[in-house]
């Protein structure tokens, strides 16, 4: 019991000590990366998948129609089935290729590709609902990964 208290005290002391050295969350108010992420608008969605991706992206960073940078993206999703001993499982495999464009001069600020997958049961009466759910989960994961990659690609100064 005593060792748990000591470990807890040390952990709290270390966390508080990091703040004294100037470490702060990357999304902190006033940070350059946080400002840059909030200065992104997305190309208007033209499909169900693009809508879910854009909604997830904007839920995390907000919608900014007056932004000076635009995120162009291309979503690719396909199904791959797995038959395992009387259980039909399928996977939704997807990727998003993206480019962050500066609207003032058309330069590419950042670009990349992220990939992910989700699984679902392709058996029974609810297989269509399972497919839609798997697609939505996959697109949310892909939006999170694009934001994470952009966070690492944007200049910190």
CA distances, 90 to each of 9, 96, 108, 126, 129 (Å): 47, 20, 36, 13, 13
Beta bridge partners of 72: 99
pLDDT per residue, tens digit, the chain (157 aa), is 566 767 676 766 666 655 555 555 555 556 677 777 788 999 999 999 999 999 999 998 888 878 889 999 999 999 887 666 666 788 899 999 999 999 889 899 999 999 999 988 877 777 788 888 999 999 999 999 999 999 888 876 5
Residue 24 confidence (pLDDT): 57
* C-alpha pair distances (Å), 41 with each of 48, 96, 141: 18, 16, 19
Burial category of 148 from C-beta neighbours within 10 Å (exposed 0-12, middle 13-18, buried 19 and up)? exposed
Both structure tokens of 124: 């029974």
CB distance 79 to 90 below 8 Å: yes
């Amino acid at each position: 019991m005593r060792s748990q208290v000591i470990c807890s005290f040390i952990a709290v002391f270390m966390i508080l000590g990091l703040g004294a050295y100037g470490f702060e969350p990357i999304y902190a108010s006033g940070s350059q990366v946080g400002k840059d992420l909030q200065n992104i608008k997305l190309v208007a969605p033209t499909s169900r998948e693009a809508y879910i991706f854009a909604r997830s992206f904007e839920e995390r960073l907000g919608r900014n129609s007056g932004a000076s940078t635009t995120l162009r993206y291309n979503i690719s999703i396909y199904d791959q089935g797995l038959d395992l001993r009387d259980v039909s499982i399928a996977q939704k495999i997807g990727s998003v290729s993206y480019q962050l464009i500066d609207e003032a001069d058309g330069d590419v600020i950042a670009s990349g590709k992220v990939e992910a997958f989700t699984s679902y049961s392709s058996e029974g009466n609810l297989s269509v609902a399972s497919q839609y759910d798997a697609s939505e989960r996959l697109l949310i994961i892909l939006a999170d990964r694009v934001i994470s990659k952009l966070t690492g690609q944007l200049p910190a100064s």
